[in-house]
Amino acid sequence: MKSRYLLRAAAAALALGALSAPAHAQATATQQLLQRLHEKGILTDEEYAQLMAETNAAPAPAPAPASPQAAAQDTAAAALDMSRVVKMTDKGIGLEVGPATIKFSGSINAYYVNDNPQAAGPNTAVGGGIASVGGDSANAVRNGLLPGYLLIDVTSKQAGLDIGAHFGMYPGINSAKWGALGANNGGQPTALATAGIDFRQVYLTIGGAFGTVKMGRDIGLFSSEAILNDITLLAAGPPGGNVAPGNTTLGRIGSGYIYTDFQPQITYTSPKFGGFQASIGVFQPLQSLTAPAQTNTAPGFQGKVTFDQSFADDASLRLWASGVTQKHRTIGAGTGGLVSYTGRGMDVGGKLTVGPISAVANWYTAKGLGTTVLNLLDTDANGNPRSSDGFYLQALATFGKVSVGGSYGESNLDLTAFETAAGNTLVRRNSSYVGQVRYGLTDWVTLLAEYTKAMSKAHGGNEADSDSIALGAILFF
C-alpha cells in the first residue's frame, strides 16, 4: 500500500515537474506523462482526472526578462531576417529585396508593312526626303517607331534621399547593319545576321523635396513631348526604308518635329508647383552629321517647362515648351578658316483631353539644327547654319476598346543666303498624313492598322510621294 502511494506521489511530482518545461512544450509533455501513468495503473481514474484538470488550469510561467545584450542580439537577428525577406511590389511587376525595390517593364511590337514607293524619274530625287522612291512595292515584317524594350528600375531610400538606378535596353526584331550609327544603321536582311540592341538608357537619380537630379544617358528635353504624345509612337508612320528594315520606322519624325534622341546629360527637374514643373540640363555636345568637320568643346544645354491641369468631367490639359542651344565650331569651311555658330531651337505644344477625345498640337522653330534628327543637313557646304520649322496636328477618339485617330504634320528646311534654289535637290518640305485604328485586345496587347502617305519636295522643284500600310500589334507590361 505504501509503495503504491509513493508511486502515485512520484507520478504527481513528475507531472508537475513537466510544467517547468518551456511554455510551448508544457501541455504536451505533462499530458503525455499522465496518460502513460494512468494506462499502467499507477494513477486511478479519479487521480488522473484531477491531475489533468490541474495541468490544464495551471498558468504558463512568465518568461524571464531578457538582458540588454540578449535584447540587442534579438533586434539584430530580426533586422537580419527582414533584410532577407523578398516580397511583391504593391503595383507593377517587381519585388522588394531588403532596402531596394526592383521593377521590370517592357514592350514588344511587330508589324507587316507594305510600302508603295514613287517610281523613280528625272524629277523625283529629294535629298533628305522621307518619301520612298523606287520600283516595286516593298514588304517587310519589322518594328514600328518603337523597337522592343526592357526597363529595369532599382530604387531605394538612403540617408533621406530617393536613390535610383535605371537601365533601358531596346532590341529590334530586324537584323542591323552595324556602322557609325550602331543599331540605327540600315538593316541587313540576310541569314546569320543579328538584331540591333540599342542600350538607350543608363542613368542614376537622386531625389528629395528639392527635386530630382538625373545623371547618365536618357531621352533629351527638347522635342521630347512631341514624340511622346505622337500616335505613331505605337505604330509605324513612314517606313524610312522598307527593303532593308532598320531598327525602327520614322513615325512622325521629320514630318512634324526633330527627333529628341537619347543623350548623355546631367539634368535637374524641380518639384511640381501647382501644375508647373521645370527641367534644365547640361548635355554632351553633338557634332553635325552632314556639315564640314567640327570640333565642339562647349556643352549643349536643354530645358523644358510643363503645365498640367485637370478639370471636371474627365477633362485635362497639358502644355509644354522646350529649348536647346549648343555652340559649333566648323573647321576648314570655305577658304579654310574657322566658322562658329550656335545651333538653337524651341518648341511649344499642348494636349487637350475631353472624355474619350484627345487633341495634340505642336510647333517648332530652329536654326543650325537641321531637319528630321539633330544636326542633319544643318548647314550649307561652308558651315553656314540653315533655319527650319514645322508642326503637327492630331486627334484620337476612343470608344470602349476601339480608338480611331489621324494626324498631319510637316517639317520645312530653308536655304542659307549663300545657296540658290535653282536645280537644288535639297529637301524643302517633308509632310505626311496618318490614319490609324486600334483595338485593345487585352490590358497588355493592342492591335493596330495604319495608313500613311508621305510627301517630299525639294527646293529646285523635284518631288515624290509614297504610301504605306502597317498591320500588327504592340504589347506593354
- 198 lies in a domain? no
Q: Is residue 8 part of a domain?
A: yes
Q: Which three cell numbers stand for residue 169?
A: 535596353
Instruction: Give the number of residues written for the chain.
Output: 477
* Digit-coded pLDDT (tens) for 60-114: 555 556 566 766 666 655 555 555 667 777 777 999 998 999 999 999 999 999 9
Range with the poorest average pLDDT among 89-93, 265-269, 431-435:
89-93
Q: Are β-strands 262-269 and 276-283 bridged in parallel, bridged antiparallel, or unpaired?
A: antiparallel
pLDDT at 14 over 60: no
Q: How far apart are CA 235 and CA 156, in angstroms?
A: 35
Range of the domain at 347: 108-145+219-476
The count of domains in the chain is: 2
pLDDT at residue 57, as a whole number: 64
% of residues, the chain, pLDDT over 70: 85
Report field, pTM of the whole predicted structure over 0.85? no
Q: DSSP string covering 3-32, please?
A: HHHHHHHHHHHHHHHGGGS-HHHHHHHHHH
How many helices (H) and strands (E) the chain has is answered by: 5, 21
DSSP state of 253: B
Please check whether residue 212 lies inside any domain of the structure: no
Residue 28 belongs to some domain of the structure: yes
From first CA to last CA, the distance across the chain in angstroms is 83
Burial class (CB in 10 A: 0-12, 13-18, 19+), 41: exposed
Residue 392 has pLDDT above 80, yes or no: yes
Asked if 130 contacts 240 with a C-beta cutoff of 8 angstroms, the reply is yes
The reply to whether 466 and 374 lie within a common domain is yes
Q: Based on the domain organization, do 8 and 124 belong to the same domain?
A: no
With a cut of 50, say whether residue 263 has pLDDT above it.
Answer: yes
1 CB contacts (<8 Å, ≥6 apart)? none
Residue 31, pLDDT score? 73
Q: Which DSSP category does 294 fall into?
A: B
For residue 397, being part of any structural domain is answered with: yes
CA 148 distance to own-chain centroid: 11
Cell 514592350, residue? 107
DSSP-derived secondary structure for 182-213: GGGSPB--STT--EEEEEEEEEEEEEETTEEE
* Average of per-residue pLDDT across 406-414: 98
Angle between helices 2-17 and 45-57 (to 10 degrees): 20
Q: Are residues 58 and 112 in the same domain?
A: no
Mean pLDDT in residue range 375-403: 96
Q: What is the CATH number of the domain that holds 266?
A: 2.40.160.10
In sequence order, what E strands does 334-418 have?
A: 337-354, 357-367, 387-399, 402-413
> Across the chain, what does the average pLDDT equal?
88
Statement: residue 43 has pLDDT above 90: no
Q: Are strands 445-458 and 118-119 parallel, antiparallel or unpaired?
A: unpaired
The CA–CA distances, whole Å, from 473 to 40, 105, 172, 195, 440 equal 79, 17, 15, 19, 10
Whether residues 376 and 457 share a domain: the answer is yes
Which residues in 84-98 are b (16+ Cβ under 10 Å) and which e? eeeeeeeeeebeeee
Beta partners for residue 331, in sequence order: 338
Strands 300-311 and 276-283: antiparallel
Q: Are residues 131 and 49 in the same domain?
A: no
Shared domain check, 117 and 55:
no
Q: What is the pLDDT of residue 185?
A: 86
Position 10 confidence tier, pLDDT thresholds 50, 70, 90: very low
Same domain for 35 and 124: no
Note whether residue 162 is domain-resident.
Answer: no
- The three-state secondary structure class of 135 is coil
φ/ψ (deg, to 5) at 209: -65, -20
The vertex-449 CA angle with 443 and 453, nearest 5°, equals 140
d(CA 317, CA 24): 64
**Are 329 and 242 members of one domain?**
yes
The per-residue pLDDT for range 212-237, each reduced to its tens digit, is 999 999 999 999 999 999 999 999 99
Strand partners, 454: 432, 466
**Domain for residue 81, yes or no?**
no
pLDDT value at residue 147 = 96
CA distance 281 to 220: 9
DSSP-based three-state secondary structure for 380: coil
Q: Residue 229 has what pLDDT?
A: 98
In angstroms, the CA 376 to CA 259 distance is 11
